[in-house]
Structure 1
Amino acid sequence: MSDKKVLYIIVCAAGPAGDVWNLIDIAQEHEWTVQVVSTPKALSFLDIADLETRTGLAVRSEHRSSPQPRSPRADAIIIAPASFNSVNKLANGIADTYALDIANECIGLGVPTTILPYVNTAYASRKPFRESVQKLREEGASVLICDDGFVPHEPGSGSEPHASFPWSRALQEIEARKA
């Protein structure tokens, strides 16, 4: 394994998930080794073979069996795109998937974590979501929404903001926290 710092990119089932290669490429340009972790529902958004070729590591979506090699230890985590469901589960300590298990543990360990949600304005306006964002920030996670990162889109227009999803903003936040 490389001596590079290790970035886990946790991908949730939300609009721009299939474009996560953008974040991988940017991170690798900044000398990060990238481990992709996917929620089970996000797998259908991803070109697994391409991501594994880009990273040199298997895309993980479930706990390993004992003969499988361990993933490298995370120096930082970016959860992007983070779905409404995953943000709320994570804020409440729910670890019902491998991806959420990893994220919960890393936040508890103080691993720098940046969350880049992808939600519409109806979801973003919900009190449970706003409270989840606040809880995660209180635990030290950066949640990049509105002025800080992703600006929620109008309901029914979820495919339009894919091209402008601020992948690089998430990496900037992690690197600022690691400095």
Structure 2
Amino acid sequence: MDCPGDPTHPVPDRLRRPARPTPAHPRPRRPGGRLGGLRDPHPSAYRWATEDAEGEIEALGALTGHPVRHQYKLPSQDDVLPPPDALLVAPLTSNTLAKWATAISDTLALGLITEGIGLGLPTVALPHFNNAQAAHPAIARHVAFLREAGVTVLLGDNGFVPHKPRHGDLDAYPWQAAIDALPA
């Protein structure tokens, strides 16, 4: 049996982990319109929050005019962000969908979107998962639950249509549909 770190038992290349973490889903390409100023063609809060080697957190802060938060603040800290007019949740993975629909708030992003329902904030969700994941019975229940709670879930003909596993087309991700669904 191969043992990592043991030169007498090297791990085969096919089993090596990549040098840096990779997301479980592909990053959809950036939208045009109101969000077109993003510098990175594959925006990812994960990268901005954890791999800030090139100053991306500062760049995102400059773009929005506000500090970037990716962790909960302490109760003693002031909330320096203005209240949102609306929320856009994209790309919404099946994992985030399941957590959100069951009120699991184990990250700041999930906490904010869960709270958004209770605050009555206009919320648009644009999924991104394959049709094998979409076929799971819990997906339809979670989508229906969020829609009943007032969330605009763009899944189907007027939004995201799930693709076959490993056949996603990032250029076809319907960012504009999500942007158009936000209140003016």
Aligned match of 1:165 = 173
Q: TM-score with structure 2 length normalisation?
A: 0.71
Match of 1:141 among 151, 165, 170: 151
- Runs (4+) of structure 1 exceeding 4 A deviation are 40-47
Query: Aligned residues: percent identity?
Result: 34
Q: Does 1:58 align with 2:74?
A: no
SS of alignment partner, residue 94 of structure 1? coil
Report the Cα distance in structure 2 between the residues aligned to 1:16 and 1:86, rounded to whole angstroms: 15
The total of aligned residue pairs comes to: 152
Q: TM-score with structure 1 length normalisation?
A: 0.73
SS of alignment partner, residue 147 of structure 1? coil
Report deviation, 1:51: 2.7
Report deviation, 1:61: 1.3
Aligned match of 1:7 = none
Aligned match of 1:8 = none
| Unaligned residue ranges in structure 1 (runs of 5+) | 1-11, 30-35
SS of alignment partner, residue 80 of structure 2? coil
CA contact (8 A) 2:48 2:57 kept: no
Asked which structure has the greater RCO (Cα within 8 Å, sep 6+), the reply is 1
Q: Does 1:76 align with 2:86?
A: yes
SS of alignment partner, residue 16 of structure 1? coil
Normalized per residue, the structure richer in helix is: 1
SS of alignment partner, residue 164 of structure 2? coil
Q: Which amino acid aligns with 2:178?
A: A
| Unaligned residue ranges in structure 2 (runs of 5+) | 1-22, 37-42
1:81-120 deviation line (CA, Å, top 9, x unaligned)? 0111001110111111110100011111110000000000
Report deviation, 1:50: 3.8
Q: Does 1:174 align with 2:182?
A: yes
Report the Cα distance in structure 1 between the residues aligned to 2:48 and 2:94, rounded to whole angstroms: 13
Report deviation, 1:165: 1.1
RMSD, aligned α-carbons: 2.9
Report the Cα distance in structure 2 between the residues aligned to 1:120 and 1:43, rounded to whole angstroms: 26
